[in-house]
Amino acid sequence: MKPGEQKTVQARILAYAGEIGWTFVSREQAEQQRGFDPDAPFADRAKNRSLFFDDLLDTKVREFNPRYSEAEGALLGQFRHLHTDIY
């Protein structure tokens, strides 16, 4: 059987992430943490929602860099201004 992306890439990345202490988050949990609208049509559930686990991102930034002193949400605001395409 020909190896696919799941076996050659995704499974290995998940294994490596587990080895360094990251926790797997199911799709349902991720959608809930990112504020998806479960009642919206599938194509619209993520519309205008966060790309990140906002609370976790802020917590980890402050944990890794105790001197970070920006207001909560400041970094997320900067991230939201990044372009999502290559232009």
Q: Are residues 11 and 40 in the same domain?
A: yes
Q: Are residues 10 and 44 in the same domain?
A: yes
- In angstroms, the CA 18 to CA 10 distance is 12
Nearest to 32 by CA among 45, 18, 14, 48: 45
Q: Are residues 43 and 82 in the same domain?
A: no
Q: Are residues 32 and 65 in the same domain?
A: no
Q: Are residues 45 and 56 in the same domain?
A: no
Q: What does 19-87 look like in DSSP terms, one character per residue? A: HTT-----HHHHHHHTT--TTS-GGGTTTT--SS-HHHHHHHHHHH-TT--SPTTHHHHHHHTS-SS--
Q: Are residues 22 and 57 in the same domain?
A: no
Question: Which residue segment(s) compose the domain that 33 sits in?
Answer: 1-49
Looking at residue 7, its pLDDT comes to 76
Q: From residue 44, give the alpha-carbon distance in Å to each of 33, 39, 40, 73.
A: 16, 9, 6, 24
The residue behind tokens 């294994």 is: 15
Total domain count, the chain: 2
Q: What is the pLDDT of residues 55-81, one digit of tens each?
A: 999 999 999 999 999 998 899 999 888
Q: Are residues 59 and 71 in the same domain?
A: yes
Is pTM beyond 0.75 here? no
